[in-house]
Structure 1
């Protein structure tokens, strides 16, 4: 199934088609098979994915460091685990899905063996489920914070339970990958591919499997998130109607007037969710089209498949950008890091060393200390 679009193998090279099985008594034969190649469109995909990989790795590691040990520690105790989990899921996508996709497109066939085939396909789906489910947890947290602001004391333990459930479900739903993927070798043409070919006796079974993961990866999270933010918008609308009607209520935090900080967090999570929907919707729609009309692979230009997958990966880069836009502490951590880096670079430069060794070097000895102190404030 290497070239066939599937949720189970989202990052497989679309230029490859399913490989013929080594034993036709065990696996159903394939017709019309031809060896794939590293096409110009696939080269574009590798180059674009590499750029996204560099940016996503740096930005998400910076986000993780900021929330873990930087100024991001000032976040509310129930928000920190959410942002740490979101950054961790994005890093899994960055360091598992993207490198595998790049290498696999370049090598075309599979050289990693059967065990690595199963493991990496499992990790891919695990990372994608985790990313989607954590967005669901964030949406549920925002809904509870706006609709039930007086339950803030229980938010920390509630979010931890939901996060544990999200990671556990991701692990469970991705586990079938360990059984349906295998390295299949075609002796006649000396070609090996990591594919699900032979794991399903009927095409409808494979389609059902893909539709199930499409539902858990996209449909269910989208419905839950839409429901959460619809209830939030309805709540805010009702508050405005009450204010216009002149009704007087006891002013409590988040009950009649949503605090500015809470509203800012709400806007941030809405944009994060919208980026997930915008980035992945085209690729999922392409998948649905393929499941019901497999001939679309021959109708649609190859670069369209590659471009839509790269666009989906863009979501991994969006989260730290959105977080930084709404969170001054993250921007301050980045500024401090850049300031510290420039200070170290100036210390190592020959001009700087020659100045310090001159007759007036005492006038400059305090600069590094001053710079370091400024960077730490």
Structure 2
């Protein structure tokens, strides 16, 4: 272990094996209060993330009006979030409460793989949502209509990408080890030699699984905003159109910021760790990007689902036995044949 890992520990420590994250509490890396705080935060993501994402799946199964092509992609996002919660957040919650990865090496590989898989599916689902909005509103392909079979193919595509991204560490290209405070597992950012080819894997993940989806999202929503602005300019006398443009602008800003808050810290830290071999860093700070990425299981549904009037309406009906106390119109949704000249905020937001 001392020959392969660069993990900051007290200088007076000479027996790293005695501090194995699979055997003993990692109190040399942080106080019990730090571990309990992380555990409490992971519990928060479980308590709020699991029912929110499960409601999304149940509502879509129960209400036929929610079974539109785009909502399939949102359900795909919810399923990916549930995978992260069940295998990543719960494992991290228990491990932080024990102050070390008490479940063993096999559980570490399972958590690392499933958390990476769910995260990659989530990232690419957001990119598919953005690209679908671009196709529907901006109509770059003319009469092309985004249909149910396209949505299904989009969902399958995200899982293929997720498996391609998450499998290499199980096959010898990098590996899954405890990260940060050693209570959750992820790809090996720390190894100082080239035995596992970690640098190339990190660059692959950064470019293919972060940079490319982000480019798709920014490009798609950027073109969408330009289209909306052009429509609003043509209909300057329409208060409804002007209001729609402002609301959609805010929605797009929230979507992109949510993506960056979720994944930029994790991607940036991994890239920094690979390009700054041998430099010391605080492992408490290294744990923050990991828990931020897992917290996406909570704020992704808020951004992409609860801000969707149709989904919100049916969720309220499901929770309150058929009554919607918010009084939202449950028929407001995006249609695959929506024309740019009749854009509204509900049509541009995922619906």
Q: How high is the TM-score relative to the length of structure 2?
A: 0.69
- Distance in 1, Cα, partners of 2:152 & 2:176: 35
Q: Say which of 95, 99, 102 aligns to 2:93.
A: 102
Aligned length: 297
Q: Is the 8 A contact 2:123 2:213 kept in 1?
A: yes
Moved more, 259-268 or 54-63: 259-268
- Distance in 1, Cα, partners of 2:273 & 2:112: 20
Q: Is the 8 A contact 1:132 1:218 kept in 2?
A: yes
Whose Rg is larger? 1
**How many Å apart are 1:318 and its aligned residue?**
1.1
Matched, 1:67 2:60: yes
Match of 1:87 in 2: 78
Are residues 122 and 197 of structure 1, via their aligned partners in 2, closer, same or farther at CA, if it must alter by over 3 Å?
same
Are residues 132 and 336 of structure 1, via their aligned partners in 2, closer, same or farther at CA, if it must alter by over 3 Å?
closer
Matched, 1:286 2:269: yes
Match of 1:330 in 2: 312
Per-residue CA distance 1:141-168 (angstroms, 9 max, x = gap): 0000111196474432222222221211
**How many Å apart are 1:178 and its aligned residue?**
1.8
Are residues 219 and 265 of structure 1, via their aligned partners in 2, closer, same or farther at CA, if it must alter by over 3 Å?
same
Q: Is the 8 A contact 1:143 1:229 kept in 2?
A: yes
Q: Which has the higher helix share?
A: 1
- Distance in 1, Cα, partners of 2:53 & 2:5: 31
Q: Say which of 283, 293, 304 aligns to 2:285.
A: 304
Are residues 309 and 197 of structure 1, via their aligned partners in 2, closer, same or farther at CA, if it must alter by over 3 Å?
closer
Are residues 160 and 125 of structure 1, via their aligned partners in 2, closer, same or farther at CA, if it must alter by over 3 Å?
same
Q: How high is the TM-score relative to the length of structure 1?
A: 0.65
Are residues 275 and 91 of structure 1, via their aligned partners in 2, closer, same or farther at CA, if it must alter by over 3 Å?
same
- Distance in 2, Cα, partners of 1:263 & 1:331: 22
Match of 1:317 in 2: 298
**How many Å apart are 1:87 and its aligned residue?**
0.8
Match of 1:123 in 2: 114
Moved more, 163-172 or 235-244: 235-244
Matched, 1:162 2:145: no
Q: Is the 8 A contact 1:128 1:217 kept in 2?
A: no
Q: Is the 8 A contact 2:59 2:314 kept in 1?
A: no
- Distance in 1, Cα, partners of 2:139 & 2:246: 14
Match of 1:350 in 2: none
Q: Is the 8 A contact 2:120 2:209 kept in 1?
A: yes
Are residues 224 and 153 of structure 1, via their aligned partners in 2, closer, same or farther at CA, if it must alter by over 3 Å?
closer
